[in-house]
Amino acid sequence: MTAEIDKSSKAELHVTTSTLNAKNYWDHFLARWAVNREGHRVEPGLYALGKPTPDSPVFVSANYTLSFDTLRSSLKDIDGFILVLDTKGINVLCAAGKGTFGTDELVNRIQTTQLQEVVNHRTLILPQLGAPGVSGFEVTKRTHFKVEYGPACARDLPEYLKTHTATPAMRRVQFTLMNRLTLIPVELVSVLLPLLILLLIGWKGPAAAILAGTILFPILLPWIPTHNFSTKGFILGAVVALPFAIAAFMKDPGSALWLRSAWALVYVLLIPPITAYLALNFTGATTFTSRSGVQREMFAYIPTMAWMFGVGLLLNIGIIFVR
Amino acid sequence: MFNAYQTNTLQYDPALCTGCGICMEVCPHGAFEMRDRLAYLVNPQACMECGACQSNCPFNAIHVESGVGCASAIIRAALLGKKEATCSCG
């Protein structure tokens, strides 16, 4: 016997599938390139996936298209419900940090969708990375729905659903090369204006520093020595600065030694602080750096970055004037 | 060498633990482990201060200062004289 969903319920039940189409992929592409950053939204509310019955599982997601689409495309051949919270078009982990993927919104969305009328059971499966914003025991107290935290990655959901327990590996959040590669476009877009200006005025060294900080750094992150992102950035910056410094030193063998050295020094001073700053900034995109750690890094290294950059800039201007 | 991530604000009081195991479930970095029906903080330096364990512990056994950790957001907050950083990320 298959129970029917009570369609007399006043709340609207949206319909979705586990298949992504060309339009979805195009939307993901635009989101990755930060086009219309906060406009990649799905309507909050309750969605039927496949042919759910009142006994089918309820999954909770954010109203960011990438979050919602990752969830539904991971649930191939699974019938269920997806409860989409209004996270203002922000992904699960970031929205949980802000509190929009949170206890109040979850309780509110359960009530407005009249979920208790739609399903027979009282269990919600939340993404594990939504846990920072949600207090599971409080949701139960307020709605009688039990919160169950699924795996960190939606792709492990089919495996999770067999036993409703996640292995320790499924509980760990990763930051793979693929994860880091997908972040590069957004990092690039965020520095596009200064990058274009630098290229227009022909200031190649700092332009290279920006490219290194936004493209090379995310790729090479785990392999650059030291723990702190700033020091990793200084190291990468020094490597990038070296050819520029050597080229500047060799460029005009006829001119004075001090002038050639000063030109080389300009690059050594200007490039590393730029990559170091961009590297430090990348902590915001990772899934493992703590806030207090980032603050300790900032206090330790930002003064050095500022001094190096300031002195390098003055030296550059100074040389131009002296000549 | 100085490692800014060696320490963090995670504090755990085992005396308040009832062994429900939710901290171990929600932690994305395996900071907690269950031994003899009690939670043990086995990997404290892996904590990213997301606050999931704190908000889901029904017995208030865990405290951690969580918040927006983006360097640019913290700088912006400092420059604008705001107490709490808010990120602009999607």
Domain with residue A22: its CATH number is 3.40.50.11600
Is A97 within 8 Å of B68 when comparing Cβ atoms?
yes
What per-residue confidence (pLDDT) applies to B71? 80
Distance separating alpha carbons of residues A26 and A33, to the nearest angstrom: 11
DSSP A135-188: -HHHHHHHHSPEEEE--SSGGGHHHHHHHT---HHHHS----HHHHHHHHHHHH
Distance separating alpha carbons of residues A125 and A161, to the nearest angstrom: 10
Set of chain B residues whose Cβ sits within 8 Å of the Cβ of A31:
90
Is A293 within 8 Å of B5 when comparing Cβ atoms?
yes
What per-residue confidence (pLDDT) applies to A70? 98
Query: Does residue A180 have a pLDDT over 90?
Result: yes
Same domain, A203 and A311: yes
Prediction pTM value? 0.93
ipTM above 0.90, yes or no: yes
Same domain, A188 and A289: yes
φ, ψ at A154 (rounded to 5°): -60, -30
Residue B54 belongs to some domain of the structure: yes
Q: Nearest residue of B to residue A39 by CA position?
A: B90
For residue A134, count CB atoms less than 10 angstroms from its CB and return exposed for 0-12, middle for 13-18, buried for 19 or more: buried
Same domain, A121 and A24: yes
Residue A29 belongs to some domain of the structure: yes
| Among A98, A171, A283, beta carbon nearest to B25 | A171
Looking at the DSSP bridge assignments, the partners of residue A125 are A59, A148
Same domain, A143 and A263: no
Residue A6 belongs to some domain of the structure: no
What's the whole-number average pLDDT of chain A?
95
Q: Residue A154's domain spans which residues?
A: 13-171
Torsional sign, CA A97, A226, A218, A176: negative
Angle between helices A257-281 and A204-211 (to 10 degrees): 30
Same domain, A152 and A206: no
Same domain, A305 and A290: yes
Amino acid at A322: V
Query: Does residue B79 have a pLDDT over 80?
Result: no
Helices of type H across chain A: 22-32, 65-74, 92-98, 103-112, 115-118, 136-143, 157-163, 168-171, 177-190, 192-200, 204-211, 217-220, 229-251, 257-281, 291-322
What per-residue confidence (pLDDT) applies to B80? 79
Give the sheet arrangement for strand A146-149, strand by strand.
A13-16, A45-49, A80-85, A58-62, A123-126, A146-149
Instruction: Report the CATH number that the domain containing residue B50 is assigned in CATH.
Output: 3.30.70.20
Per-residue pLDDT, averaged over A165-187, amounts to 96
Distance separating alpha carbons of residues A153 and B45, to the nearest angstrom: 23
Q: Residue B56's domain spans which residues?
A: 11-79
Range scoring the smallest mean pLDDT among A129-138, A281-290, B20-29: A281-290
For chain A, the domain total comes to: 2
Q: Which one of A143, A171, A199 terminates a domain? A: A171
Q: Match 């080229």 to its residue by tokens.
A: A247
Query: Does residue A193 have a pLDDT over 50?
Result: yes
- Name every residue in B having a CB less than 8 A away from some CB of A: 1-9, 22, 24-30, 46-52, 55-56, 58, 65-75, 86-87, 89-90
Chain centroid to Cα A312, Å, comes to 32
Quickly state the pLDDT bin for A4 (edges 50, 70, 90): low
Residue B40 belongs to some domain of the structure: yes
Query: Does residue B54 have a pLDDT over 90?
Result: yes
Same domain, A200 and A309: yes
What per-residue confidence (pLDDT) applies to A1? 41
Burial annotation A26-36 (CB, 10 A radius, 16+ → b, else e) = ebbeebbebee
Amino acid at B52: A
Range scoring the smallest mean pLDDT among A121-125, A225-229, A250-254: A250-254
Say yes or no: A81 contacts chain B, CB-CB below 8 A: no
Q: Which one of A120, A144, A171 terminates a domain? A: A171
What per-residue confidence (pLDDT) applies to B76? 78
Give the Cβ contact number of residue A170 at 10 Å. Answer: 17
Looking at the DSSP bridge assignments, the partners of residue A147 are A124
Same domain, A193 and A307: yes
The pairing of beta strand B11-12 with beta strand B62-63: antiparallel
Question: Percentage of residues in chain A with pLDDT exceeding 90?
Answer: 93
Quickly state the pLDDT bin for A5 (edges 50, 70, 90): low
For chain B, the domain total comes to: 1
Is B65 within 8 Å of A292 when comparing Cβ atoms?
yes
**A259 Cβ contact partners less than 8 Å away, ≥ 6 residues apart:** A319, A322, A323
Same domain, A225 and A292: yes
Quickly state the pLDDT bin for B90 (edges 50, 70, 90): very low
Set of chain A residues whose Cβ sits within 8 Å of the Cβ of B68:
97-98, 291
Is B25 within 8 Å of A166 when comparing Cβ atoms?
yes
Query: Does residue A299 have a pLDDT over 70?
Result: yes
Range scoring the smallest mean pLDDT among A60-74, A118-132, A283-297: A283-297
Same domain, A79 and A153: yes
Same domain, A164 and A70: yes
- Tell me the pLDDT tens digit for each residue of A96-115: 998 999 999 999 999 999 99
Q: Which one of A171, A203, A230 terminates a domain? A: A171
Looking at the DSSP bridge assignments, the partners of residue B11 are B63
Q: Match 């191939």 to its residue by tokens.
A: A76
Same domain, A318 and A188: yes
What per-residue confidence (pLDDT) applies to B77? 79
Distance separating alpha carbons of residues A170 and A160, to the nearest angstrom: 9
Query: Does residue A322 have a pLDDT over 90?
Result: no
| Among A133, A290, A298, beta carbon nearest to B8 | A290
Quickly state the pLDDT bin for A9 (edges 50, 70, 90): low
Structure tokens belonging to residue A279 = 């590297």
What's the whole-number average pLDDT of chain B?
89
What per-residue confidence (pLDDT) applies to A250? 95
Is A295 within 8 Å of B67 when comparing Cβ atoms?
no
What per-residue confidence (pLDDT) applies to B75? 79
Residue B29 belongs to some domain of the structure: yes
Residue B23 belongs to some domain of the structure: yes
Torsional sign, CA A96, A98, A103, A108: negative
Is B71 within 8 Å of A281 when comparing Cβ atoms?
yes
Residue B88 belongs to some domain of the structure: no
Best residue of A148, A291, A295, A301 to probe chain B, by most B CBs closer than 10 Å: A291
The pairing of beta strand A45-49 with beta strand A58-62: unpaired
**A108 Cβ contact partners less than 8 Å away, ≥ 6 residues apart:** none
